[in-house]
Structures are given as structure tokens and as C-alpha cells.
Amino acid sequence: MPHQSHVNRAGFTIVEQLVALVVLGVGLLVIAQGVVSLQRHARRAGLRLDATAAASSAVERMSAMSCSAAVGTDTAGRVTVHWTSGGQAPGATLTARAAADVDGRPVGDSLSSARDCRPGS
């Protein structure tokens, strides 16, 4: 009977190590892509919040105005608010609308408010 040598080799082969390294690399890339995506969404949400707050402020200011038609644009930082206010004679309804954009792109919701015009308001 021929002599057989049993060598106990503990550890991983180079192929197993390379496969593990590739799997780890792919996992890290997926995590990094997720972090970048979350940052982008957080930045957009912040801009949307700023734009909506600016539009809301414009609607509140217009609602306090007299019952006359007006159109305007306000800019604060990267947020621009385009607003219109329309009201005619006493007894008519004043409608104030505002929409905001950031760097020329619409962001946030278009907001509106309405109230009755009273004599002297």
C-alpha cells in the first residue's frame, strides 16, 4: 500500500479570498450609493421646505393687503417666489397665489389663500 501524505492545510485559498473581496467591494459600493442618494433627497427636502415657507409667507402678506390686484417676485437666497393677488371691488374675493422655484426649477407646492374683500380693507 502506497504511503499517502495527509497535510492539514488550515485557511482559505487565494480564489476564496478573491471572491470574498469582490463580495465585500460590491457591498460597500451599494452602501455608498445609498448614502449619496439619502444626501441628495435630504438636500431636495430642505430646498422644498424653504420654498414652501417662502411661498406661505408671501400668501400671508398678500392676504393682509388691500383688495387690489398685484403681481410680484421675491428672492431670498436660491428661492424665488412668484406671486399674484387678485381682488376687485368690495364684496369680491381676494385670491392670493404663490409658487416658488430654486435656480429656475419649480420646487414645493403652489399655495393659495382666499378672503372676502370688505369696504375699507
Name the residue ranges covered by the structural domains of the chain: 14-116
Order of all β-strands in the sheet with 105-116: 70-76, 79-86, 93-102, 105-116
Name the burial class of residue 96, with classes exposed (0-12), middle (13-18) and buried (19+) by CB atoms within 10 angstroms of its CB: buried
With cut-offs at 50, 70 and 90, classify the pLDDT of residue 116: low
Question: Which tens digit of pLDDT belongs to each residue from 72-113?
Answer: 787 777 777 777 766 555 556 666 666 777 767 777 666 666
Q: 70, 49 in Cβ contact below 8 A?
A: no
Q: Which three cell numbers stand for residue 102?
A: 430654486
pLDDT given for residue 105 in this prediction? 73
What is the residue-wise DSSP string for 47-92? Answer: HHHHHHHHHHHHHHHHHTS-SS-EEEEEEETTEEEEEEEE--STTS
* Residue (of 71, 72, 65) closest to 117 by Cα position: 65
pLDDT given for residue 43 in this prediction? 85
pTM of the full predicted structure? 0.58
